[in-house]
Amino acid sequence: MFYDRAKIEIRAGKGGNGCISFRREKYVPKGGPDGGDGGGGGDVVFTASSRLRDLAFFQRQRHFRSENGRPGQGSGRHGRRGADLDVEVPMGTQIFRGGELMADLTADGQRFVAARGGDGGRGNARFASSTRRAPRFAELGLPGDELEVSLKLKLLADAGLLGFPNAGKSSLLRIISRARPKVADYPFTTVAPMLGTVEDPRSHQQFTVADIPGLLEGASEGVGLGDEFLAHLERTRLLIHLVDAGGYYGQDPLDNFCAIIRELEGYSPELADKWQLVAVNKIDLIAADAAEAVAAGLAAEVAQRCRAGSPAFAWLLEEAGGDPELVDGSRAVMKISAATGAGTAGLMRRAFQLLGSAWEKAPAVAAAEPAGHITYRPGQEEHWEVTFEEGMYMVRGPVVERLVARTDFDNEEAVAWLQEQLERLGVSEALRSAGAAEGEDVGIGDREFEFW
């Protein structure tokens, strides 16, 4: 079974705690503090890999954890940083958090740090000063990022096959590439998207083609999972539109063609604007004059759409030198038989020509810029504010929240040091200015305090 979606939980490693230690050696009186720092936690990193084809692995494993940092030790020895966790995903995987795109991994080896490990705590040697000669406290390590992410795979292909069920897309894929999809004489034989590679024996040039399950009317709204299948065509540069010469269950082939165009437009204007090459398939099953009539009707429709300014057939206008009167719709419609191979070589030559033009105009598919990324600026981490929420005062800001998270509240010296730092930042004064009175509750991070 082909899996193109998954939801997983990732957690980066916690930073190691700092060490409380004092140098104790013979003939070295009052050696002083020598506790080392804790190591940082490992990150969770997604890496795009050409070895993978779908997200099946994430159906079996949904929780991913990187290694915690090691605590510091005496004699100034710092803890080891936790190892990163490298999670491989197929090329074309998008990573979402809460519906917001975090990263789009389109190139082999492309990496994205999705969850960062927590910083390690400082050992007591860091807190020694002229007035604090023997600090008996150290910092705790910070927890790493923990989040739930959704993975969505969009196949990376140069061309995509689309059409109604049983139009012969899988049969065409078998004859033009080494892919071996299941082929049978009933609709919806293809239940999952497949990829194949087409090679030109003369130039040895290649392109990849995606075969998606057949579409029905209403596909853009989810009928027959059509909206999920259409997503796999979004990265293609060329659509090869297969039309059954006999029509889907006896329907008019021209109506089938127009129905698919409407579904593309309903799903995404960008997808509907992609260049299209039309192929009338199964000409071996009907009379030659009937096949010619079907192709002529489609050619007239294509020419009309081109003159109306449809981007899907704009390449025809380019070939006509920009003169709408010279547009020949028959150049976009080819007659083939995927069963016998008739016309398929010419179809592939035409596809190579159109893709060559598309490659020149757009040499590479650009990776989407991660949304919601953070830009660090000097002083940004120092910002904090006091608000009144639900009957208590809240102090919010990275600098104060990190101070509280690093404090060992079982150690009186550590708590006293925290109080000093909050006073230095002006937190008490800000609380008084906000109206806080003696004995009222104050929240910082996940801790609650009594104001005094």
CA 73/CA 23 separation, integer angstroms: 11
Question: Was domain 159-361 assigned CATH 3.30.70.360?
Answer: no
Q: Which CATH superfamily is domain 380-450 in?
A: GTP-binding protein OBG, C-terminal domain (3.30.300.350)
* Predicted pLDDT of residue 241: 94
For residues 43 and 66, the answer to whether their CB atoms sit within 8 Å is: yes
C-alpha distances in Å from residue 110, one per residue of 6, 91, 233? 19, 9, 21
C-alpha distances in Å from residue 370, one per residue of 51, 55, 114, 373? 24, 21, 11, 6
- 10 CB-near residues (< 8 Å, 6+ apart): 44, 63, 64, 65, 87, 114, 115, 145, 146, 147, 148, 149
Query: Which tens digits make up the pLDDT trace of 80-97?
Result: 999 999 999 988 999 999
Task: Supply the DSSP string of 205-241, one letter for each residue.
Answer: -EEEEEE-----TTGGGTGGGHHHHHGGGTT-SEEEE
Angle 66-67-73 (CA atoms, 0-180°, nearest 5)?
155
Cα–Cα nearest to 439, from 447, 429, 449, 428: 449
This model's pTM is above 0.85: no
CA 104/CA 117 separation, integer angstroms: 22
267: Cα within 13 Å, side-chain hemisphere:
29
Tell me the three state secondary structure of residue 434: coil
Helices (H) and strands (E) in the chain, counts: 11, 18
Question: Was domain 5-153 assigned CATH 2.70.210.12?
Answer: yes
* Predicted pLDDT of residue 154: 85
Q: Hey, what's the torsion of the CAs at 434, 438, 439, 440, to 10 degrees?
A: -10
* Predicted pLDDT of residue 378: 43
Task: Point out the residues of the chain with pLDDT beneath 70.
Answer: 1-2, 179-192, 216-227, 361-381
Tell me the three state secondary structure of residue 307: helix
Cα–Cα nearest to 297, from 258, 250, 344, 262: 258
Domain parsing of the chain, residue ranges: 5-153, 159-361, 380-450
For residues 37 and 122, the answer to whether their CB atoms sit within 8 Å is: yes
